[in-house]
Each structure stands twice: as C-alpha cells, then as structure tokens.
Chain A
Amino acid sequence: NAGVTQTPKFRILKIGQSMTLQCTQDMNHNYMYWYRQDPGMGLKLIYYSVGAGITDKGEVPNGYNVSRSTTEDFPLRLELAAPSQTSVYFCASSMDRGQTEAFFGQGTRLTVV
C-alpha cells in the first residue's frame, strides 16, 4: 500500500522558474492538503481540498496554485519561484475532517537559488 506519494524528492530551481510538485494518494481519501515546513515554524497550510473540483486557500497561499481534477491527485504549482519558497513541502490526505488523522508523504525539498 503506497499511501501518499510525492515527487520529486529534491529539486533546485532558479528564481523565476516554474514547477509542479506532484502528489497522489491511493487510499480514496476526500481531503488533501499541502503544507510547507520551515525550521522553527512548524507546518503551514498552503492549500487544501475537500474533494475533486474543490480547493481552498490555507494560511500561506501566495505564489502557489493547486488543482484537484481527480480524487487521487493534488498537484501544487509554483509559477515564478522566489527564494522565500525554499522549503520542505508535504502533501497529506485524510478520509474526512474531525477526528480522522492525516497521512503524509515523504516530502519534497525545494531550493530556489
């Protein structure tokens, strides 16, 4: 059982470049999330989705875009990379809200130079 899979694991981008971080889950979860993790800051929610075709902004959405065309996939798009987007990005999914826990991918370490 693969769970939540993120690709790539590592990436170096130049300022102004674009890229898509891929996330797919095979647990048929309705809820999916993108977080970024910076040292000493915990995890900040970028975007989330409660089902295919439905997305909403989290705490730190600026500079990012998402789409949710299928239940399984929730890609995160960086249009014009900036050094402030250097971070570790985690995708997560959960069956529902409330007491259901979220399952996390292994993360993507992104460096913008």
Chain B
Amino acid sequence: AQSVTQLGSHVSVSEGALVLLRCNYSSSVPPYLFWYVQYPNQGLQLLLKYTSAATLVKGINGFEAEFKKSETSFHLTKPSAHMSDAAEYFCAVRTGTASKLTFGTGTRLQVTL
C-alpha cells in the first residue's frame, strides 16, 4: 500500500522567509513522489517530481524538494516566500507498478507582509 502524510494543514510565513512544507510517505517499494500546487478555484499544477534520478529535485517557481529514504520524507522548500506563493500544496505518491496516484490532505500556505 502507498500513502502520504502532510504535517500541518496550514502554514503561515512572512514574505521573504523560508517555506518548508512537510511530506512523509509510506511505501513497500521505491516510490515516485510529486508535489502539486492549487491556486484558488483552479486545478492542480505540477511543481516537481522525484523519479530516483536525483535526490534533490528542483521545480518551478523556485521550489525544490529533497528525497530522504532514511526519513521516508520529501519535504518542499523555497528559500524566500513571495505573496504569489499563497496556495494549497499537495504531496502525492505512486509506486512503479501502481496505477493509482495517492494524495495527502494538503497544506494551505499563507504569506504575510
């Protein structure tokens, strides 16, 4: 079985501060991991994905995530938050032989002045 857990349903940071959104996965086989972003009243857009080619993955809009097998984590970071980063972020997992893409419950990021 595969699953992801996102710690913190709401995260608030100041503009210019570090963004850290947490994701832990559970999988009996090597996983493929994804981060998606959802802006208000829109669909989900891919930020980045881990495919085992490199443990540090860079995505769009300055976001990156590091795959840590020992910690079963794939946390999303951005060095300096911008107001436009305010959105909901979802971590997702799929194993190589699975057809299903399983999502976490999401983290809403608020960016304040």
Give the B-binding residues of A (Cβ under 8 A).
4, 31, 33, 35, 40-43, 45, 48, 50, 56, 58, 90, 92, 94, 97-99, 101-107
Q: Known contacts A42-B90, A48-B99, A101-B49: does B44 contact A90 (CB below 8 Å)?
A: yes
Residues of chain A with a CB closer than 8 A to B102's CB: 45
Smallest CB–CB gap between B74 and chain A, Å? 14
Query: Does B51 sit at the interface, judged by CB under 8 A?
Result: yes
Bound: A58/B103 CA distance, A: 12
**Complex contacts, B45 vs chain A, CB 8 Å:** 104
Given A40-B105, A42-B90, answer yes or no on A98-B43 (Cβ-Cβ < 8 Å).
no
What are 29 A-to-B residue pairs whose CB atoms are below 8 Å? A40-B106, A42-B104, A42-B105, A42-B106, A43-B44, A43-B90, A43-B103, A45-B101, A48-B99, A90-B44, A92-B101, A94-B101, A97-B96, A97-B97, A97-B98, A97-B99, A98-B94, A98-B95, A98-B97, A99-B51, A99-B52, A99-B94, A102-B101, A104-B36, A104-B44, A104-B45, A106-B43, A107-B41, A107-B43
Contact of A33 with B101 in the complex, beta carbons under 8 Å: yes
Contact A106 B42 (CB under 8 A): yes
Which residue of A is nearest B98, CB measured?
A: A97
Residues from chain A with a CB closer than 8 A to the CB of B6 are: 42
Are B105 and A98 within 8 A (Cβ)?
Answer: no
